[in-house]
Amino acid sequence: MKDPIPKDLKKLSGERHQAIWESAKKGELRVLSPEDRKMAEIMLAHEEFHNQFEIADLLSEHEYDPEREVNPFLHVTLHALTETQLENRDPIEVFQFYNAMRKKNASHHEAMHLIGIVFTPLMFDTIRGKKPFDLEEYRSRLKKMKALKPEKIFASIAEEGEPL
């Protein structure tokens, strides 16, 4: 299968991630746009990826194997998307799901990852199938899963046969 992302775009993305990381680690967040500041804050919160952020420009062409590796750049990008959904309460079900998870003792960070677990399979369906994002299905899943304990959400997604 041909790579859907052109090499030049990957290089630019790697350079952008590295520039954001450089500002983040220097504590120079105020020089960034609001979107890049959010990304920098999320990068800082993910210590497990700091080494990869250091060499983001070199990793821009690396093909991550989703069965064995976590793509740190995709991870923080999805994290930023879910943070934005929560801030904007759009869809409102994200806000309701988040509050339900927090009441069940999930940390803010854990709750954001749980939102991502619900969001990601639908997003990948859209990318792979070149079809519109199914917002109603996303809302429905968030409503259904907010009743579950945080530890049960991953199992619920896996039972549905959804690839993560």
Say if CB 144 and CB 159 are below 8 A apart. no
Give the SS3 label for residue 42.
Answer: helix
Confidence of residue 57 (pLDDT cuts 50, 70, 90): confident
Least confident of 20-29, 61-70, 139-148: 61-70
Q: Report CA torsion sign: 10, 127, 98, 85.
A: positive
Query: pLDDT tens digits for 87-132?
Result: 999 999 999 999 999 999 999 999 999 999 999 989 988 888 878 9
- Amino acid 7: pLDDT: 59
- Amino acid 125: pLDDT: 86
Say if CB 117 and CB 156 are below 8 A apart. no
